[in-house]
Structure 1
Amino acid sequence: MSQRECAIGIDIGTGSSRAAAFDLGGRLLFSQAEEYPLSYPRLGWAEQDPEVVLAAVIKALKDLTARLAEHGYRPLAVGLSSVFHSVLPLGKDGRPLANCLPWADSRSTQIVNAWKKDPAARAWYARTGCPLHPMYLPGKIAWWHANEPELFARTARFVSLKEYIITRLFGLPWVDYSVVSGSGLLNEEKLTYDDDVLTALGIGPERLSKLVPTKTVLGELSPEWAAATGLPPGVPWVIGAGDGALSSLGTGGVTPGILTAMIGTSGAVRLASPVPRVDPKGRTWCYHLTEDCWLLGGAINNGGIVYRWLRDGFVPDALRSYDALNTAAARVPPGSAGIIFLPFHSGERSPYWNADARGIVFGLGLEHTAAHLARATMEGITYRMYSIFQALEELAGPAREVRASGGFARSALWLKIMADVFGRRVYVPTVSEGSALGAALLALIAVGALPDLKAAAQLVSINAAYEPDPENHTLYQELYALYTSIYFKLQDEFAALARFRERENKESACH
């Protein structure tokens, strides 16, 4: 059998890593995923074992390459996508000194809150494109400095999960501009580490990775790693970008006017810009894809993870499958019979950047069922996304359409809710693995198989479209106004409850 060419995209995510293969027309051939957990050792803390993540990447890739070989495909290139905002300390031997802190870790909240009162720290956003928030690396590195000074002193290099995997597979201390643009450490105008931020953290650039473009070819795997992954010799790896940026590419959203909306474990809304831009109100971030494509956007902590929380803990056994729960929720009218759900379960990011906020169910009555709560959860998460949509349109101009990706794009009900809340047509690409496809497409550009981003985006095909209903949009506008009002009226209460949690956390740590 003659071999056919394909490209592989590896997406290193929060709860799983996926290896997916695509033909040169952007069509999905095969996909393999391996899951892994987050651990929550204390309130507000989240950690991840980087060795478990590396093993998952290798396992997913090995399973994928076996299927490719069976069907006569040869990879032309491999591209890497990874979650933003992770960090772990490496010793001089390149091995972890502690677990990785993912985006969900908020142990540095007090440090970041103090920075918000400091004019010098507040000025970082204008240069880095990253608002002051515990998910970004400055707070996490500062927390280690303040609370684990010996570990901080022993750390040779602070790296993301992606950098750790590159270090292990290739021995290269490199990071792409995209991943670091989501760290809070990069001066986006100069494309260098920001001197003021590093000085405040007490580190120099030698304790960080070398900055390289997203189309940089890492090289080939060693014979040992090639055998472990099942890849044939000679396949080039491309460093790639962050998952959100590559999701925009993989859904065709790399030109102005096309909004991309992703809801997986978390969620994000993005608009493309040819140059980096920051919001005067500090509501959004700005991340890098390539030298002439930046993604303006915002992200929410509480996406599909909240829907799963509801399913696992609060619905009867008959509704424990997503299909059954979605079917029940679809029978509930828009507006969920007056329930307004504010999904701030683990604090929140864009556009309010309030790590102290917590979840609220408003309007609950005896007439409501698990199905009402399920639909209200979908609506509440979509309201969160809509608040970012409003900020982006104010900053970058109107969006004419939405491209949807992530787990929610498999739910016709949720997609219709988004169309009605946003008042825009929502398109669903044929390939749901947007970040993996984006990684594969960027790899093809890097090795010369595709000319540019525009040509890559044209390979994205559309599977379905959802039209907004004007009456439903009007109803949701009314409920969204209530949703926003409830949130802003409870700022003092959020702060008071955060102080209570912090006290309880300290007391539990002493026992």
Structure 2
Amino acid sequence: MKFMIGADIGTTSTKAVIYDDEGTIKAVHHVEYPLHTPTADTAEQDPNEIFDAVLMTIKHVVREAGAAKNEIAFVSFSSAMHSLIVMDDDNEPITRSITWADNRSYQYAKKINKEYNGLDIYHRTGTPVHPMSPLSKIMWLKEEKPELFQRAKKFIGIKEFVFYKLFNRYVIDYSIASATGLFNIHELDYDKDVLQLLDIDDSQLSEPVDTTTYYEDMDRRFADVMGIDAGTPFVIGASDGVLSNLGVDAFKPGEVAVTIGTSGAIRTVIDRPKTDKQGRLFCYALTKDQWVIGGPVNNGGIVLRWIRDEFAASETETAKRLGVESYDVLMKIAERVPAGSNGLLFHPYLAGERAPHWNADVRGSFFGLTLSHKKEHMIRAALEGVIFNLYSVFIALNVLMDEPVKSLKATGGFAKSELWRQMMADIFEHDLIVPESHESSCLGAMALGQVALGMKKDFSHISDMVGASFEHTPAFDNVKIYREILPLYINLTQSLEENYAAIAAFQRRHEQLLEEN
């Protein structure tokens, strides 16, 4: 028997899943690590802690599955995008891993957009100019941390750090590279104008390779730790978002995947790179011949957690005493209210927003409040607001898709809620399927590894590995209400655009004064 491992290097933990040769999960393990947030705009991690987590998760699943050293066919990787680590001449990190959630470069994202034609850069690189991207982060380092910038031998991401430690080489897959803002997706190489803007050259970046590239000459010390042979192929793999599409069987024309966890995303696969005229969508590589377009949102389940903590504290305490899941209580409360929340709208921008606005300054708001509205209206409006925002990304996605939407597949923590699932079907006016796929990014990584090693000729076998656990059809009465209120939601966001910057500036000044006092 040969075993296959899919490993996902995530923002809060690294997870490994080991499969047998029939694709059955034999063991799963994850190791968490802290996100360091000493200020509101800072979000960093220790790269060595993450590397250790990779070793430990793989070691654990190999041992739990009872796999011998020579029985591992390959290990294939998924990884979070947009991280940045500065390496010095001794190949040691001189920064933590600056994650996608770090917002300290927000002023430089604005500067690039305004002074250096950010939309044109987006059309070449496929990455909207935003504080999440290494493009903005490197400019921030150049301007505000010049001593670090001058010491930089390499600017890399977390998966590159892992592969450097394992194989003593700096390599980056096309998928992660296409999410940096530094990589020309049409030429599959670094964008010369962007590098000139940052005063760096491609020798300070990793070698770009296809996502199916693998290496077999691992440092034996680390192979021994993991309990595998040093010659085991390690497939470089792709990013977590594009591999999640694979893992939920949403990679054929017209198939759309929607995910809501803490944050959220909506994505579809096309056969060539495309960008949106207004810069609302990303375009990232799955392989050099398959590309994923879509949009990530900052505000998914995190909004529900805020609603729970701030609007339903007493109900949450009662739920704990009764042994009931607190989020189930929230859904029961929201069910008391009809679709549209009696005309109450909620813009869910509690953590700025990426798609479709790509603006760290946007802020959340309730609109339409009257004396007739109660707690339950506010809870339902918040749930609807998260889906409304994803639908506004879906509008842009439809324009670029090669074929009309054939299926809508939903995953993530929100899929546990029947109310939220039905809400999505109603707002999107489309049948909704919840795939019975566990650990979708790891499954996608494993499937990519099978193609990389020639074990499968394409990804068609994934359909046999993914079932459907729930299906929802739009309720026509609700659809009519949402058709009427959705334009109000979208128009209101646009009308507040100028005020977002003003209120964000006020909040930052106020927070600074409080810190000083």
Partner of 2:54: 57
Structure 2, unaligned stretches of length 5 or more? 320-324
Match of 1:190 in 2: 187
State the TM-score, normalizing by the size of structure 2: 0.92
Structure 1 segment 311-326 matched on structure 2, within 5 A: 311-316=308-313, 317-319=317-319, 321-326=326-331
Task: Give the C-alpha shift of residue 409 in structure 1.
Answer: 2.5
**For residues 54 and 156 of structure 2, what CA distance do their matches in structure 1 show?**
17
Structure 1 residue 143 and structure 2 residue 140: aligned? Answer: yes
1:175-214 alpha-carbon deviations (Å, 9 max, x no partner): 1000010111111111000000010001000111111110
Q: 1:191 to 1:70 in 2, by over 3 A?
A: closer
Once residues 392 and 160 of structure 1 are traced to their aligned partners in structure 2, the CA distance between those partners, rounded to angstroms, is: 28
Match of 2:81 in 1: 84
Specify which of 185, 210, 213 is matched with residue 210 of structure 2. 213
Q: Secondary structure at the match of 1:117?
A: helix
| CA displacement, residues 19-70 of structure 1 (integer Å, 9 cap, x when unaligned) | 1123444443332222333232223232222223223333332322222118
CA distance in 1 between counterparts of 2:481 and 2:504 reads 33
Deviates more, 1:272-281 or 1:356-365: 356-365
- CA drift at 1:432: 3.1
1:280 matched to which residue of 2?
Answer: 277
Instruction: Tell me: CA distance 1:77–1:70, structure 2 relative to 1, closer, same or farther (3 Å).
Output: closer
User: By how many angstroms is 1:108 displaced?
Assistant: 1.5
Once the two structures are superposed, residues 259-315 of structure 1 have per-residue CA deviations (whole angstroms, 9 ceiling, x without a partner) of 111112221111211110111121111100012210111111112222223334442
**Contact 2:70 2:228 (C-alpha < 8 Å) held by counterparts:** no
Match of residue 349 from structure 2: 344
Give the match for residue 435 of structure 1: 441
Task: Select between 13-22 and 330-339 the one with higher mean Cα deviation.
Answer: 330-339
Matched, 1:6 2:3: yes
Question: Does structure 1 residue 424 correspond to structure 2 residue 421?
Answer: no
Structure 2 residue aligned with 1:66: 63
Q: Write the deviation string for residues 350-381 of structure 1: whole angstroms up to 9, x where unpaired.
A: 11212110111334456656554443332211
Asked if the contact 1:115–1:132 (Cα under 8 Å) also holds between the matched residues in 2, the reply is yes
Q: Give the equivalent residue in structure 2 for 1:110.
A: 107
Unmatched segments (≥5 aa) in structure 1? none
What is the distance in 2 between the residues matched to 1:331 and 1:422? 22
Structure 2 residue aligned with 1:262: 259
Aligned partner letter, 2:381? A
Matched with 1:462 is: 468
In structure 1, the residue matched to 2:159 is 162
Cα distance between partner residues in 1 of 2:463 and 2:4: 15
Answer with 185-194 or 317-326: which moved more: 317-326
Aligned counterpart for 1:335 among listed residues 330, 340, 365 = 340
Superposed displacement of residue 445, structure 1: 1.0
Distance change in 2, residues 1:323/1:240 (3 Å)? same
- 2:176 equivalent in structure 1: 179
CA contact (8 A) 1:261 1:267 kept: yes
Match of 2:386 among 370, 381, 387: 381
Specify the code of the residue in structure 2 equivalent to 1:487: T
- 1:475 paired residue among 453, 459, 481: 481
**SS of 2:98's equivalent?**
coil
Task: Report the CA distance between 1:71 and its aligned residue.
Answer: 11
Task: Please list, as runs of the form range in 1=range in 2, the aligned pairs for 1:485-504 lying within 5 A after superposition.
Answer: 485-504=491-510
Q: Mean Cα displacement is larger for which, 117-126 or 388-397?
A: 117-126
Query: Quick one: which amino acid aligns to residue 318 of structure 1?
Result: T
Q: Tell me if the contact between 2:73 and 2:233 (Cα under 8 Å) persists in the aligned partners.
A: yes
* CA RMSD in angstroms, aligned pairs only: 2.4
In 1, Cα distance between the equivalents of 2:482 and 2:70? Answer: 48
Distance 1:163 1:148, change over 3 A: same
Offset from partner CA, 1:132-181 (integer Å, 9 cap, x none): 21111111000000000001111111111111111122222111000010
Deviates more, 1:179-188 or 1:17-26: 17-26
Partners in 2 of 1:422 and 1:485 — Cα distance? 18
Greater Cα offset, 215-224 or 202-211: 215-224
Structure 2 counterpart of 1:227: 224
Give yes or no for the alignment of 1:405 onto 2:411.
Answer: yes
Task: Give the whole-Å Cα distance in 2 for the aligned partners of 1:230 and 1:407.
Answer: 33
Partner of 1:394: 399
Change (3 A) 1:233 1:144: closer
For residue 279 of structure 2, give the secondary structure of its aligned residue in structure 1: coil
Correspondence for 1:199: 196
Specify which of 19, 23, 26 is matched with residue 22 of structure 1: 19
Q: Residue 84 of structure 1 contacts residue 182 of structure 1 at CA under 8 Å; is this kept in 2?
A: yes
Partner of 2:363: 358
After superposing the two structures, state which structure 1 stretch, 9-18 or 67-76, moved more.
67-76
Distance 2:92 2:378 in 1: 45
Q: Separation in 1 of the partners of 2:387 and 2:248?
A: 19
Length-normalised TM-score, structure 1: 0.93
What amino acid sits opposite 1:445 in the alignment?
Answer: V
Once the two structures are TM-superposed, the CA of residue 74 in structure 1 deviates from its matched residue by 4.3
Task: Output the CA distance in 2 between the equivalents of 1:74 and 1:410.
Answer: 36
Matched pairs, number: 508
Would the alpha carbon gap of residues 222 and 192 (structure 1) be closer, same or farther in structure 2, given more than 3 Å must change?
A: same
Q: Is the 8 A contact 2:303 2:348 kept in 1?
A: yes
* CA-CA distance at 1:257 after TM superposition: 0.3
Q: Distance in 2 between matches of 1:89 and 1:71?
A: 37
% identical aligned pairs: 39
